[in-house]
Amino acid sequence: MNERDKQTDLQGDYLVIGEKLTSKNLVLLIRERKQPTAKKPQKYLLLKVGDKYKYLSSLYQVGQGRFAFDTGSPAAQQVFSKVEQFILELEQTTAKIYAA
């Protein structure tokens, strides 16, 4: 894992407040598209980088409160050195992200 990825390791436990997911060193936002399509699901994930949020990935529902996503978007590639796939398990007040 290079220095850039150490600062943005997505795996771990998060506190959920509204649509914001917060870990020790990361803040993520879950947003909803106004007009989802077959290729663009309703929910997507933003990553806080500095004082701005950058698009990370669409969230593909794979079960009740479970979503798959990856770091393959052009914006994510500015932050992560490789494409990885993850699972987000989302509950009302907590969330967990782990490698798929």
Residues 34-90 have pLDDT tens digits of 999 988 999 999 999 889 999 999 999 999 999 999 999 888 888 888 899 999 999
Which residues, 6+ apart, have CB-to-CB distance to 100 below 8 Å? 68, 85, 86, 87
pLDDT of residue 76: 87
Is the pLDDT at 6 greater than 70, yes or no?
Answer: no
pLDDT of residue 8: 65
Q: pTM of the prediction?
A: 0.89
